[in-house]
Amino acid sequence: MSCIFVCGIGLVAEWMLPKHQTPVRFRYPAHVFDRLSVPKNATVGSTNNMKILSIETSCDETAVSIVEATGGLEKPAFTVLSNLVLSQIKTHEQYGGVFPNIAKREHSKNLGRLIETALQEAGLFVEQKNSLTESQKEKITADLSREPELCTALIELFESSGKPAIDLIAVTFGPGLEPALWVGINAGKVLSEVWGIPVMPINHMEGHISSVLLDTKKPVEFPALALLISGGHTELVLVPDWLSYKIIGQTRDDAVGEAFDKVARMMGLPYPGGPQISALAHEAREAQSDIQNDAEKKSEKKPVQNFNFPRPMIHSADYDFSFSGLKTSVLYKIRELKALQDAHVDGGIELPVETKKSLALAFEDAVIETLVVKTKKAIAEYKSKTLILAGGVTANKAIRKAFQNLTDEQTASGASTQLLIPTHELSTDNALMIAFAAYVRFSKNSTTGNSTADVHEIVAQGNVQLS
Ligand code: ADP
Ligand code: MG
């Protein structure tokens, strides 16, 4: 396949899709969901407590959560009643990237069952036989005409459960893959119409920023900066206060995660390549430090080759990033090394794993330095008291460590900036963060009576930006 598609990018030709599959009705045993181990918060009970059901389908994770929220804007606190994430990675792996229409099909197949399981887990499933009227069924079928499996599952849910004690439904409306986003939005609309529960559309990136709210020991102090690094995004966002955002920098080409994935592909590593590259780089880093610590003992470890890749735009006057040139430099180096290795073999040859490790390390170092230098400059300019790091790429331990070092340095020099990084499970796409964002939005806007949307006005916005 010549090109890959990641979240937020492009459409895919129909001919790439597998042959039509008959919708299957099934009931998952609960254990098939990758459950997240999120600590439960015990501080529920204030008057403003509300239960939020959230839905996230922006890319290749179908996620549903139910939380009980309390404390308002001053002291938001959450009890996680259910948190389900079903990853489609295995489905997309074979294509080397996320295909929007396949993502949509998978969301449609799984979302209804996830919602039902979440309600059961949260103890909010009201077992009760209901008969929908023909006109209700017709309406649901029309609303979900493009999501037949979801339609079947939701009709079954409505016929077997009464209205649950949910106060608010939150759905991701963008950015992301529009066909995928519509599945979550349409589910939210139908749940809202049948059960009479208001819906709040949430920006996925606001969700990522809000994901740090689970840790109530470290309240967010403003102004904050958020560095959002994922497969589809690389953004440096100034957050002067809750719900107030200014994107001060972003990538001009590839997102960080996308660059990791593409470099991995160049080395023949499977999708998603970020974790593979980071594992190789980690081994190279360990070998490097073993060799340094063990110089006289002549360590067994193979020496790490010194590759040096450019740090594009690192000294530009703005806060923008560019990773495409870096990726191309890695490609040229790989070609050069392959040519040296065997001038007579045309492509296809594998580089030795030690070389791959050294390349991965040099690539990762270039990424880290670029991110850190730009962020450090922004912290100083905006005097930010908090740095939030979120998005799937924060799973990278070397990146986490580099930012920990940066904020430790700041503290040592008297200009303290606290670093907030959500747990790994909350860094990648999930629905909890969407519920957290919805609660903040609800708490801030509730006085204006303007906090939920007319369900019919919610539309998927693939490229929406934080504003
Ligand atoms: P998106 O939803 O925008 O696709 P996610 O937040 O789900 O992105 O993050 C997935 C991205 O994170 C992928 O590009 C993946 O390669 C990257 N990633 C995951 N783990 C690591 C890691 N350890 N190092 C670098 N990148 C990683
Ligand atoms: Mg994401």
User: In angstroms, rounded to a whole number, what is the distance separating the alpha carbons of residues 22 and 3?
Assistant: 28
Q: In this structure, how many other beta carbons lie within 10 angstroms of the beta carbon of residue 209?
A: 29
User: Which ligand 1 atom is the nearest neighbour of the CA of 272?
Assistant: 16
Q: Ligand 1 pocket by C-beta < 6 Å: which residues?
A: 6-7, 59, 230-233, 257-258, 260-261, 272-275, 278, 391-393, 395-396, 428-429
What is the rounded average pLDDT of the residues 427-435? 94
User: In angstroms, rounded to a whole number, what is the distance separating the alpha carbons of residues 172 and 316?
Assistant: 34
Ordered domains of the chain (ranges, CATH): 14-210+427-449 (3.30.420.40), 218-421 (3.30.420.40)
pLDDT at 22: 29
Q: What is the pLDDT of residues 396-416, one digit of tens each?
A: 999 999 999 999 998 888 888
- Average pLDDT over the chain reads 85
User: In angstroms, rounded to a whole number, what is the distance separating the alpha carbons of residues 323 and 263?
Assistant: 11
Beta bridge partners of 386: 224, 418
Query: When comparing pLDDT for 42 and 159, which is higher?
Result: 159
Q: What is the pLDDT of residues 75-130, one digit of tens each?
A: 888 999 999 999 888 788 777 778 899 999 999 999 999 999 999 999 999 999 98
Nearest to 451 by CA among 72, 143, 67, 144: 72
Q: Position 242: which residue type?
A: W
Q: What is the pLDDT of residues 201-218, one digit of tens each?
A: 999 999 999 999 988 778
Q: Which ligand is nearest to the CA of 428?
A: 1
Nearest protein Cα to ligand 1, atom 25: 274
- Indicate if the pLDDT at residue 15 is higher than 70: no
Nearest protein Cα to ligand 1, atom 16: 274
Tokens standing for 205?
A: 């990136």
Q: What is the pLDDT of residues 257-282, one digit of tens each?
A: 999 999 999 999 988 899 999 999 99
At residue 207's C-alpha, the angle toward residues 206 and 213, to 5°, is 105
Beta bridge partners of 161: 127
Q: Which ligand is nearest to the CA of 232?
A: 1
pLDDT at 443: 87
pLDDT at 297: 57
Q: Which residues contact 348 (CB under 8 A, 6 or more apart)?
A: none
Nearest protein Cα to ligand 1, atom 26: 274
3-state secondary structure the chain: CCCCCCCCCCCCCHHHCCCCCCCCCCCCCHHHCEECCCCCCCCCCCCCCEEEEEEECCCCEEEEEEEEEECCCCCCEEEEEEEEEEECHHHHHCCCCCCHHHHHHHHHHHHHHHHHHHHHHCCCCEECCCCCCHHHHHHHHHHCCCCHHHHHHHHHHHHHEECCCCCEEEEEEECCCHHHHHHHHHHHHHHHHHHCCCEEEEEHHHHHHHHHHHCCCCCCCCCEEEEEECCCCEEEEEEEECCEEEEEEEECCCCHHHHHHHHHHHCCCCCCCHHHHHHHHHHHHHHHHHHHHCHHHCCCCCCCCCCCCCCCCCCCCCCCECCHHHHHHHHHHHHHHHHHHCCCCCCCCCCCHHHHHHHHHHHHHHHHHHHHHHHHHHHHHHCCCEEEEECHHHHCHHHHHHHHHHHHHHHHCCCCCEEECCCHHHHCCCCHHHHHHHHHHHHHHHHHCCCCECHHHCCCCCCCCCC
Q: What is the pLDDT of residues 184-196, one digit of tens each?
A: 999 999 999 999 9
What is the rounded average pLDDT of the residues 42-60? 73
Q: How far is CA 263 from the centre of its chain?
A: 20
